[in-house]
Amino acid sequence: MTAPASDGRFGAFGGRYVPEALIPACRTLEREFAQAWADPGFRATLSRTLRLYAGRPTPVTPATRLSAELGVTVLFKREDLAHTGSHKINNVLGQALLAQRMGRTQMLAETGAGQHGVAAATAGALLGLDVTVFMGAKDVERQQLNVFRMELLGATVVPVTSGGQTLADATSEAFRHWVGRSETAHYCIGSTLGPHPYPLMVREFQRVIGEEARAQCSELLPAAVPDFVVACVGGGSNAAGTFAGFVDTSARLVGVEAAGGAAIGRGSPGILHGFESYLLQDGDGQVLEAHSVSAGLDYPGVGPEHAHLADSGRATYVSATDDEVLAALVKLARTEGLLGALESCHALAWVLRAAGTSELPTGSTVLVTLSGRGDKDAAQVRELLK
Ligand SMILES: *Cc1c(COP(=O)(O)O)cnc(C)c1O
């Protein structure tokens, strides 16, 4: 996983497909990010904030009882223990500090279920930035508690009533709002998506997951590096950050998509929200809505670098069904005392299905990124288990 080409492409994917009016904003962001990332002062401020505020480093926890049951050694990278309950804080703190460095006073964000919106509102409150979160009107209705959380943190939530009134529409609206305001507002995208430099920048802000895990695995595993590194894939940010720490090793990288949102598994190349990648679309190129038990994996596309890693064969992408995910969540709770997010349980669902087969042979070592905690999903899981 390296820098994309100068046009923002990872192999055949990525790029910068935005209206003319947003090209200067993307160029400025590309330059400012590159300078900040090369600046030891910026890196030190981000590291310090991640450590003193967000609770990093998160541990790697050996899953003893689960490992004995499966016949493979499972380790969890515990992003559920990061502040706000998932890896999303890593990215928003990076982008909020960058926005501050660029002299921006406002931050725009899109959100689906509300997790990225809450994280963005949190970072905005910490750094004194005005945060506006665009959210599909349907999601506003379904996620009232998260809307309240964002408002409590001082953010403004704007319901988006166009199209299907969900995440894809909220993202389009956030881009529209950014036009003409890029001198004062930074658009904080929540995953490894969007026009160049976002997929690169978000991966770099999430790289801390993989780098920490690499060092932690070397202390816990005799072979230092696990045989398999597994993460769930929505837009692909927790997977990209995890894979970045292991891409130069012999570890097999496995991304797990939701069966109803499998852009790599069932999609075809297309352009959405400023980048080219695999997308769920019909024969006419109409983008289809993704459906998954976990709102965080309900995006019809996937980050361009994952599309490239899939094509190059360096990473493998599989999918898990809602039923498998629910079973994995219960198994994790009862064998390890961990309530995982439904998103994260996609990664574990593949491990449960594959363990002991030729896909994941007995005796293997597996690092699974537990991208978030499941408290947010408890009410939904209760209904699903009825
Ligand atoms: C948002 C979210 C995801 C999906 O996003 P990625 O960019 O694919 O990482 C996964 N897990 C949790 C807990 C999330 O909140």
Residue with tokens 């004194």: 128
Q: What is the pLDDT of residues 175-223, one digit of tens each?
A: 999 998 999 999 999 999 999 999 999 999 999 999 999 999 999 999 9
- How many A from CA of 166 to the centre of ligand 1? 16
User: Which atom of ligand 1 approaches the CA of 373 most closely?
Assistant: 13
Q: What is the pLDDT of residues 263-318, one digit of tens each?
A: 999 999 999 999 999 999 998 888 888 888 887 788 899 999 999 999 999 999 99
Question: How far is residue 25's CA from residue 17's CA, in Å, rounded to a whole number?
Answer: 13
- How many A from CA of 20 to the centre of ligand 1? 30
Cis amide bond preceding 19, omega within 30: no
- How many A from CA of 319 to the centre of ligand 1? 15
Is residue 117 within 6 Å of ligand 1 at its C-beta?
A: no
> For the chain, which domains are there?
9-49+87-198 (3.40.50.1100), 55-86+206-384 (3.40.50.1100)
Q: What is the mean pLDDT of residues 329-356?
A: 98
Per-residue pLDDT at 297: 84
Cis amide bond preceding 57, omega within 30: yes
Question: How far is residue 65's CA from residue 48's CA, in Å, rounded to a whole number?
Answer: 35
Closest C-alpha to ligand 1, atom 13: 372
- Residues annotated as catalytic are 88, 110, 371
Question: How far is residue 259's CA from residue 283's CA, in Å, rounded to a whole number?
Answer: 20
User: Which atom of ligand 1 approaches the CA of 297 most closely?
Assistant: 4
Question: How far is residue 37's CA from residue 31's CA, in Å, rounded to a whole number?
Answer: 10
Name the average pLDDT for the chain: 96
Task: Dig out the tokens for 215 from the structure.
Answer: 């060092």
Closest C-alpha to ligand 1, atom 4: 234
Could you list the beta-strand ranges (E) of 211-359: 228-232, 252-258, 268-272, 275-279, 315-320
DSSP 300: S
**Would the pTM of this model clear 0.85, i.e. be above it?**
yes
- How many A from CA of 298 to the centre of ligand 1? 10
Is residue 371 within 6 Å of ligand 1 at its C-beta?
A: yes
Q: What is the pLDDT of residues 135-188, one digit of tens each?
A: 999 999 988 999 999 999 999 999 999 988 888 899 999 999 999 899 999 999
Residue with tokens 């820098």: 3
Question: How far is residue 1's CA from residue 306's CA, in Å, rounded to a whole number?
Answer: 10
Cα–Cα nearest to 198, from 42, 68, 32: 32
